[in-house]
Amino acid sequence: MRTHRCTAPSTRVSHQGGDLVDPGPAVRSIAQLVFTAQYTPRRINKIPPRLQPAAGKCLNQGNPRIFHDFTKVTTGISADFRYPHILKQQSRKIQIQCTDGTISHARHVGQGKSLEDSSTATVIVGGGLAGLACAAALAERNQPVTLLESRPRLGGRASSFEDQQSQSLIDNCQHVSMGCCHEFNRFCETVGIADSFERAEQLYFIGPHQSGPVNADTRFQVNRFASSPALPTPLHLFPAFARLSYLNFREKRELAQGLKQLARTRVNLQDEPTMADWLQAHGQSQTVIDRFWNVVLVSALSESLERISLSHARKVFVDGFLRARDSWQVLIPTTPLEQLYGTTISDWLTTRGTEIRLKTGVKQIHITDGKVTGVELRDGTHIDADRVVLAVPHQRVLDLLPAEFPGRTELSRIAELEAAPITSVHLWFDREITPLPHAVFVDCLSQWMFNRTQLMQQEHDGRWYYQIVISASHQLTAAGRQGRSQEEIIQEVIAELTRIWPVTGEAQLLHSRMLTEHHAVFSVQPGVEQLRPAQRTQVAGLYLAGDWTSTGWPATMEGAVRSGLLAAEELLHDLGKPDSLLLPPENTAFLSKMLFRL
């Protein structure tokens, strides 16, 4: 078994584009290597003459991919770059090939700033948003970590892949945030990706032009949904609801009563109904259920009303519509997820001392006498660690832990968490079918449309790319399709688009792809909160993170980020450096307090 001790950078090397503080003969060559990495080829002439030959050699011999990265990153050095030069690493001594070709022994070095020396190591397993948020919070507090991710990229479920036929990077599925996702939005600001989201201050609900049943002659109409600046929260959305074409006056009054009752309901988590049962018990008609409750809740919680718990449904309306003014607004990425969570965050973390190791799957967490001692990788390598944050999907957790450990019985309940699927249909047409950037569909199989060509502010290159999202797509999984092929479902989606935008029928479909993520989210059924564990475990040094842990949020990017912050809080507490990482709860608008007793 190979052994790799995960050490914290410990030698101060200060060289932010300026003078190199000579760290002494033992590490001088490493310092040159690190120093070199801080310069792009264009800036090479800024490297002090004393170091230029070595620097030039290093840049010329560098791995081309990493070398390419350095043309964008002008500070810092990535672990990927360092490791090819490290020939052997034992305990905290490392042996590296220096830029002048000699072999040198030294201790691990920092990258332009002094990181706190830590005699023990922290490992995060899983590079989804939970693991990334945890790593970022620790990096901000000078706690270096090693992040291990089994896949070749970061981002987990919120990532992209290369579509061979369209030769483009497409997202696993469109991911959107909302104004009420405070921790996620702050995380984006911290790591410098907030500018890559567009805030939609107007939504477009597309439904029948009037109340009543839909038939072949039904016309569809775009309903613009925006807040009224003159009205206080929560009345600011009242005119938008009042304008919806597909509900009549009686249905709107019924809806208003339902919303008020829901907001005022106090839910008993031990014994709560499904939302479908609650709606029926509170006099909501099938039309209002289909055209309002279903539309909002299924896309927000990725589950059907028959399976959604009352508490989660209430949270969507209270946090998303009633508590604060802009909380309902949707934030949509304008670049592929790969760039957001892959490249940008990776660079941010590595320049702050986080070591990121991709394609590094963990096989087992080692626990001795109720305490974490390290992790074993799939290739047999052992990494010593005194603290491990397990940030993998809940289906993987129990397999990575030993058969026996304190608290296993309680944790085993996560096996009862059920999954809900999300389907995305990707369509490339030879022309624009709508200039709308996004839309929500009512009374359709399709639920959301995202105009990716427009959102990404791309030139269309003769192809217009639209993505259709269908949440809680139980009926579209192989078992639920009842013999229908993917092609037939894609045609059904196109037929719907044609009914709404007739130009679709004349457009040529250049390429299409349908993807169903079977374990997209955990199902927010009644009783689910009792199955979600806290971030602290009964094993010393073992913490849990992931959207499935207890955060009070459904499976969302916000939930994942919160879980990572909560795990980091517990870890810092155990290190004797307690810190409060979550933002204080948002103030509830005065009128909402009065009207709904929030």
Ligand X SMILES: Cc1cc2nc3c(=O)[nH]c(=O)nc-3n(C[C@H](O)[C@H](O)[C@H](O)COP(=O)(O)OP(=O)(O)OC[C@H]3O[C@@H](n4cnc5c(N)ncnc54)[C@H](O)[C@@H]3O)c2cc1C
- Applying CB under 6 A, the residues found at the interface with ligand X are 125-131, 148-151, 156-158, 172-173, 175-177, 361-362, 391-393, 396, 400, 422, 517, 520-521, 546-547, 555-560
- Long-range pairs for 97-102: beta carbons < 8 A, 24 or more residues apart: 98/29, 98/30, 98/32, 98/33, 98/54, 99/29, 99/32, 99/33, 99/36, 99/54, 99/55, 99/57, 99/58, 100/29, 100/32, 100/53, 100/54, 100/57, 101/57, 102/29
Q: How far apart are the C-alpha atoms of 23 and 8, rounded to whole Å?
A: 17
Backbone phi, psi, residue 582, to 5°: -90, 145
CB of 403 to ligand X, least distance (A): 17
DSSP 254-315: HHHHHHHHHHHPPP-TTS--BHHHHHHHTT--HHHIIIIIHHHHHHHHSS-TTT-BHHHHHH
For residue 383, how many C-alpha atoms fall within 13 Å in the half-sphere facing its CB? 27
CB of 513 to ligand X, least distance (A): 13
CB of 135 to ligand X, least distance (A): 11
For residue 69, give the 3-state DSSP assignment.
helix
User: Distance between CA 339 and CA 158 in Å, rounded?
Assistant: 11
Q: Kindly state the smallest distance separating residue 448's Cβ from ligand X, in Å.
A: 9
Q: Are 327 and 319 in contact (CB under 8 A)?
A: yes
Of 83 and 238, which has the nearer Cβ to ligand X?
83
> Which residues participate in the annotated binding site?
362
Q: How far is the CB of 382 from ligand X (least distance, A)?
A: 14
Residue 55 or residue 154: which is nearer to ligand X going by CB? Answer: 154
Q: How many angstroms separate the CA atoms of 81 and 243, rounded?
A: 57
DSSP code for 510? E
As a whole number of angstroms, the distance between CA 453 and CA 162 comes to 16
Q: How far apart are CA 35 and CA 17, in angstroms?
A: 8
Provide the b/e sequence for 476-492 (b: ≥16 CB within 10 Å). beeeeeeeeebeebbee
In whole angstroms, give the CA distance from residue 360 to residue 201.
41
Min. distance of Cβ 545 from ligand X in angstroms? Answer: 7
Least CB distance to ligand X at residue 150 (A): 4
Contact 93, 310 (CB under 8 A): no
Whole-angstrom distance, CA of residue 212 vs CA of residue 206? 15
**Shortest spacing between CB 387 and ligand X, in angstroms:** 16
CB 161, min distance to ligand X, A: 12
Specify the residue, 125 or 138, whose C-beta has the smaller distance to ligand X. Answer: 125
The answer to whether 372 and 539 have CB atoms below 8 angstroms apart is: yes
Distances (CA, A) of 427 to 125, 511, 512, 514: 35, 6, 5, 9
Asked whether the beta carbons of 32 and 410 are under 8 A apart, the reply is no
CA end-to-end span of the chain? 58
Nearer to ligand X, 33 or 121 (CB): 121
Peptide bond into 234 cis (omega under 30): yes
- State in angstroms the smallest separation of the CB of 107 from ligand X: 27
Q: Which tokens belong to 266?
A: 């106090």
Name the residue nearer to ligand X (CB basis): 112 or 127.
Answer: 127
Of 59 and 439, which CB lies nearer to ligand X in the complex structure? 439
470 CA to centre of own chain: 18
Q: Shortest distance, CB of residue 561 to ligand X, whole angstroms?
A: 8
- What is the smallest separation between the CB atom of 45 and ligand X, expressed in angstroms? 40
Binding residues for FAD: 362
| Distances in whole angstroms, Cα of residue 327 to Cα of each of 88, 210, 428, 513 | 52, 28, 32, 33
Q: What is the DSSP letter of 318?
A: I
Residue closer to ligand X, measured from CB, 20 or 567: 567
Crossing angle, helix 182-190 and helix 129-140, to 10 degrees? 60
150 DSSP 8-state letter: S
- Closer CB to ligand X, residue 29 or residue 150? 150
Q: CA 344, 350, 351: angle at the middle one, nearest 5?
A: 90
Q: In the structure encoding, which two tokens stand for residue 241, read together?
A: 């609801």
